Homo-oligomer: A and B are copies of this chain.
Amino acid sequence: MARREVDVPALVEQARAGSPRAVARLITLVENDHPALREVMAALAPHTGHAHVIGLTGSPGVGKSTSTSMLVSGLRGRDLRVGVLAVDPSSPFSGGALLGDRIRMTDHVLDPEVYIRSMASRGHLGGLSWSTPQALRVLDAAGCDVVLVETVGVGQSEVEVAGLADTTLVLLAPGMGDGVQAAKAGILEIGDVFVVNKADREGADNTVRELRHMISLGDRTEPGLWRPPVVKTIADRGEGLDEVLEALDKHRAWMEGNDELHRRRVRRATAEIEAIALAQLRERMGDLGHGDDLTSAAEEVVAGETDPYAAADRVVAAL
């Protein structure tokens, strides 16, 4: 496929002026790792830093899409511009398709102040760490006041999403393993706000109690530290929305009050710079491969003439 020339300044201007098409186009450039990305990111940079990035994660079945949809409604009720990135770490699909239970998001599809985008996280460069932060920059620069990053809590992705967000919202449902579910995979450590959805189900109060207990056993009980609240919702009826928004506001205010927001963003930018730098270095190594340095080193390792460390030293030296 021949790549169309991209008029980056025009596209960035349109995106900033609120064109959903331009925003979508920019995110597609991110997903395709388009050569124009450098120019795009340079043009976006001065306009970033405004959006409150909220990561939303939870196991399958806890009601992530419904909760996201509820939050979008609440934020739109405050007249805020909202971006939604639905990141599916297992899906090979991407490109803004609204699949499966994302259909619930159709409530907001026609709202020009809501940008919704599904992304497959496992691109050729792998991981949330590559494309998602750049898509966030696009939405941020396009004037979103809040960007919700929704991801399934499977494997590493929930920890990764916490690394991307200003505020991480962990979603649970009653009767899904509860305490065990929360304790595994460090969910207790990554959540800034816990939401027990489907609170009309049996055991909801138990789940809330158990969570609060486990949080109280954690290391975030000192004065001045953020103590994650636990909020109950019934997302498909919109119940608990105000409480969730209040918890998110409080967390943001707390972060701004003690420089934590800045610290988190510097950490995020560090990871982003590292990922880009490593991708560049990996690409250079690939080029070495074609120039035979890497391949000949690999041949020697296979022949037992050298070991991978000594070979790696040579490759690094040749970069």
Contacts and interface: CB of A to CB of B under 8 A. Distances in A.
A205 interface: no
Contacts of A122: 156
B316 A280 contact: yes
A285 B155 CA distance: 26
Contact of A310 (B42, B90, B278, B308): B42
Contacts of A298: 266-267, 269-270, 273
Copies of this chain, count: 2
A277 B285 contact: yes
A266 B311 CA distance: 13
Given A285-B277, A309-B276, A316-B280, A304 B270 contact: no
A80 to B, nearest CB: 20
A53 interface: no
Interface stretch (A43-51, A102-110, A223-231, A239-247): A43-51
Contacts of A269: 297-299, 301-302, 308, 311
Contacts of A7: none
What interface size band does chain A fall in?
35 or more
Contacts of A273: 294, 297-298, 301, 308, 311-312, 315
A220 interface: no
A300 to B, nearest CB: 8
A316 B156 contact: no
B307 A42 contact: yes
Nearest to A50: B304
Nearest to A49: B304
Contacts of A44: 307
Interface in A101-145: 122, 133-134
B312 A46 contact: no
A265 B302 contact: yes
Given A266-B299, A272-B308, A276-B309, 15 more contacts: A38-B309, A42-B307, A45-B306, A49-B304, A262-B302, A266-B295, A269-B302, A270-B295, A272-B301, A273-B294, A273-B308, A277-B312, A277-B315, A280-B313, A280-B316
Interface of A: 37-38, 41-42, 44-49, 90, 122, 133-134, 154-156, 262, 265-267, 269-270, 272-274, 276-278, 280-282, 285, 289, 294-295, 297-299, 301-313, 315-316
14 contacts: A44-B307, A45-B304, A45-B307, A49-B304, A265-B302, A269-B299, A269-B301, A269-B311, A270-B294, A273-B315, A277-B315, A278-B282, A280-B312, A281-B281
| 10 pairs of A and B residues whose beta carbons are closest in the complex | A276-B312, A269-B298, A41-B307, A269-B301, A45-B307, A277-B312, A270-B298, A38-B309, A265-B302, A273-B311
